[in-house]
Amino acid sequence: MPTVNDVCHHVRSKNAGPYWVTFDLFFKDAEAFQRYHASPALGADTIHRLFGADPALVKRFAAPDLKVVKISYPRTSAQGGEVERDMHAGQQFVRLLDIALD
Protein backbone atom coordinates (compact mmCIF):
# COMPACT_ATOMS: atom_id res chain seq x y z
CA MET A 1 0.00 0.00 0.00
CA PRO A 2 1.31 3.46 -0.84
CA THR A 3 1.95 5.99 1.92
CA VAL A 4 0.75 9.58 2.16
CA ASN A 5 4.25 10.60 1.15
CA ASP A 6 4.01 8.48 -2.02
CA VAL A 7 0.75 9.97 -3.28
CA CYS A 8 1.07 13.62 -2.16
CA HIS A 9 3.47 16.20 -3.56
CA HIS A 10 3.09 18.42 -0.52
CA VAL A 11 1.81 17.93 3.02
CA ARG A 12 1.74 20.71 5.58
CA SER A 13 0.50 21.47 9.09
CA LYS A 14 -0.17 24.76 10.87
CA ASN A 15 -2.14 26.24 13.73
CA ALA A 16 -5.68 27.31 12.90
CA GLY A 17 -5.96 29.54 15.94
CA PRO A 18 -4.51 28.61 19.35
CA TYR A 19 -6.68 25.52 19.85
CA TRP A 20 -6.69 23.80 16.46
CA VAL A 21 -4.15 22.25 14.13
CA THR A 22 -4.89 21.79 10.45
CA PHE A 23 -3.27 19.59 7.79
CA ASP A 24 -3.40 20.08 4.03
CA LEU A 25 -2.59 17.05 1.89
CA PHE A 26 -1.92 18.04 -1.73
CA PHE A 27 -2.28 14.92 -3.88
CA LYS A 28 0.00 14.44 -6.87
CA ASP A 29 -2.77 14.10 -9.43
CA ALA A 30 -6.52 13.66 -9.87
CA GLU A 31 -6.19 9.89 -9.97
CA ALA A 32 -4.37 9.73 -6.64
CA PHE A 33 -6.88 12.15 -5.13
CA GLN A 34 -9.84 10.11 -6.40
CA ARG A 35 -8.41 6.85 -5.20
CA TYR A 36 -7.25 7.90 -1.72
CA HIS A 37 -9.07 11.03 -0.56
CA ALA A 38 -11.70 9.02 1.32
CA SER A 39 -9.27 6.46 2.70
CA PRO A 40 -10.28 5.27 6.18
CA ALA A 41 -6.59 5.48 7.10
CA LEU A 42 -6.99 9.29 7.09
CA GLY A 43 -9.96 9.10 9.44
CA ALA A 44 -10.57 10.44 12.92
CA ASP A 45 -9.27 7.25 14.55
CA THR A 46 -5.85 7.79 13.04
CA ILE A 47 -5.74 11.40 14.22
CA HIS A 48 -6.78 10.22 17.66
CA ARG A 49 -4.03 7.60 17.70
CA LEU A 50 -1.29 9.95 16.49
CA PHE A 51 -2.23 13.17 18.27
CA GLY A 52 -4.58 12.17 21.07
CA ALA A 53 -7.36 14.32 19.64
CA ASP A 54 -11.02 13.69 20.44
CA PRO A 55 -12.17 11.77 17.33
CA ALA A 56 -15.66 13.27 17.57
CA LEU A 57 -14.20 16.74 16.94
CA VAL A 58 -11.85 15.85 14.07
CA LYS A 59 -12.93 17.53 10.81
CA ARG A 60 -12.12 16.34 7.33
CA PHE A 61 -12.80 18.01 3.99
CA ALA A 62 -12.14 17.16 0.37
CA ALA A 63 -11.43 19.95 -2.11
CA PRO A 64 -11.45 18.13 -5.49
CA ASP A 65 -10.52 21.18 -7.61
CA LEU A 66 -7.32 21.54 -5.61
CA LYS A 67 -6.86 17.76 -5.17
CA VAL A 68 -6.55 18.49 -1.47
CA VAL A 69 -7.73 16.76 1.68
CA LYS A 70 -7.85 18.97 4.76
CA ILE A 71 -7.93 17.46 8.24
CA SER A 72 -8.29 19.58 11.38
CA TYR A 73 -8.13 18.56 15.03
CA PRO A 74 -8.27 20.29 18.41
CA ARG A 75 -5.00 20.32 20.32
CA THR A 76 -4.87 18.30 23.53
CA SER A 77 -3.02 21.19 25.19
CA ALA A 78 -3.34 24.81 24.14
CA GLN A 79 -0.62 26.36 22.02
CA GLY A 80 2.36 27.53 24.04
CA GLY A 81 1.73 25.61 27.27
CA GLU A 82 4.37 24.23 29.63
CA VAL A 83 5.04 21.21 27.46
CA GLU A 84 4.87 22.91 24.05
CA ARG A 85 7.26 21.44 21.51
CA ASP A 86 5.92 22.94 18.27
CA MET A 87 4.50 26.44 18.81
CA HIS A 88 3.12 26.85 15.27
CA ALA A 89 2.34 23.11 14.80
CA GLY A 90 4.39 23.39 11.62
CA GLN A 91 6.12 20.01 12.15
CA GLN A 92 3.07 17.93 13.03
CA PHE A 93 2.54 16.83 9.42
CA VAL A 94 5.57 14.56 9.57
CA ARG A 95 3.65 11.91 11.49
CA LEU A 96 1.18 11.65 8.59
CA LEU A 97 3.78 10.90 5.93
CA ASP A 98 4.16 7.20 6.64
CA ILE A 99 0.45 6.39 6.92
CA ALA A 100 -0.37 3.56 4.52
CA LEU A 101 -3.47 4.28 2.43
CA ASP A 102 -6.01 1.74 1.28
Partner 1 sequence: MTTGPIRILVPTGSLGAGAVEEEIRYGISRGAQAIATDAGSTDSGAAYLALGISKNNRGSVKRDLTILMKAGAEAGIPVIVGTSGQAGGDANVDWTRDIALEIADELGIRPKIALLYSEQDKAVLKAKNAAGRIHALAPLGPLEDQTIDACDHIVAAMGPEPYMAALAAGADLILGGRTTDTAVIASFALLHGAPLGPSWHAGKVSECGAQCTVYRDRGSGVLISIDQDGFEVEPLTLTNRCDVESVSAHMLYENSDPFRLTEPGGVLDVTDARYAPLDDRTVRVTGSVWEPKPYTMKLEGAAAGRYQTLMLIGIQDPHVMADVDAFHDRMLAALYQRVRSTIGEAAGDFHISLRMYGWNAVSGDRPPAGTPAPRELGVLFVATAQTQEMASQIAKACNPYFFHFPVAMDKELPSYGFAFTPADIDRGPVYEFKLNHVVETDDPLELVRTKWIDLRREEAA
| Distance of closest approach, residue 37 Cβ to partner 1, in angstroms | 13
Q: Does 87 bind partner 1 (CB under 8 A)?
A: yes
Q: Report how far residue 4's alpha carbon sits from residue 95's, in angstroms, rounded to the nearest whole number.
A: 10
Question: Is residue 25 exposed (0-12), middle (13-18) or buried (19+ Cβ within 10 Å)?
Answer: buried
**The only residue of 4, 7, 24, 46 in contact with partner 1, by rule CB under 8 A:** 24
End-to-end CA distance of the chain: 6
- Determine the Cα angle at 32 with ends 29 and 38, to 5°: 130
DSSP state for residue 25 in the 8-state scheme:
E
For partner 1, the closer of residues 85 and 102 by Cβ is 85
Interface positions, 39-78, toward partner 1 (CB under 8 A)? 54, 57, 59, 61, 63, 65-66, 68, 70, 72, 74-75, 78
Binding site for partner 1 (CB under 8 A): 14-20, 22, 24, 54, 57, 59, 61, 63, 65-66, 68, 70, 72, 74-75, 78-83, 85-88, 91, 94-95
